[in-house]
Amino acid sequence: MVENPKNSFAVDTVWDDFEGDAEFICEVIEVLVRELPQWVQSLEELAHHGDVVGVARAAHKISGGVGTMAAGPLLTVIGAIEADTRAGDWSAMRGRCRQLQVEQVALVDDLNQWSRELRSAGATAPASMDGDPTS
């Protein structure tokens, strides 16, 4: 697996996990790009209100969704939010919510870019974020 540190997800991992089915990958991306901002907003609202159970559920939902895209940076932030919530460290957790927003925007942007590349190329190999379809 080759991960480009500039990317918000592991292209090769996703390609392999979806067995090179570019059409299906694009469909999953479409759903995730549509839903993820709402999930993140919901988590932030629950955190603002101190809803421990709600934050845990929202974090789990986000983790599952972005896990399908091997979104390492966002998964790291979600894991830290879950740990902060379990520890009762609401100050740290709320701070991480700001980082979650940054990572979510980066992931959505990168997924949209990759989806466009896959659709335009009729991809038969992973399309990296730098435009090289063979990475």
Q: Classify 14 in phi/psi space as left (phi over 0), alpha (psi -120 to 50) or beta.
A: alpha
Residue with tokens 């918000």: 8
Q: What is the pLDDT of residue 45?
A: 95
Is residue 8 assigned to a domain?
no
Task: Count structural domains, the chain.
Answer: 1
**How far are the Cα atoms of 49, 54, 59, 93, 98 from residue 46, in angstroms, in the given order?**
5, 6, 10, 11, 14
Q: What is the pLDDT of residues 90-112, one digit of tens each?
A: 889 888 999 999 999 999 999 99
User: How many C-beta neighbours within 10 Å does residue 86 have?
Assistant: 12
- Residue ranges making up the domain that contains 72: 18-117
Contact 69, 107 (CB under 8 A): yes
CATH number for the domain spanning 22: value is 1.20.120.160
Give residue 3's pLDDT.
Answer: 38
Is there a domain that residue 99 lies in?
Answer: yes
pLDDT single digits (tens) 30-61: 999 999 999 999 999 999 998 989 999 999 99
Q: Is residue 2 part of a domain?
A: no
pTM equals 0.84
* pLDDT recorded at residue 94: 86
Q: Is residue 76 part of a domain?
A: yes
74 within some domain: yes
Question: Is residue 106 included in any domain, yes or no?
Answer: yes
- Who wins on pLDDT, 135 or 129? 129
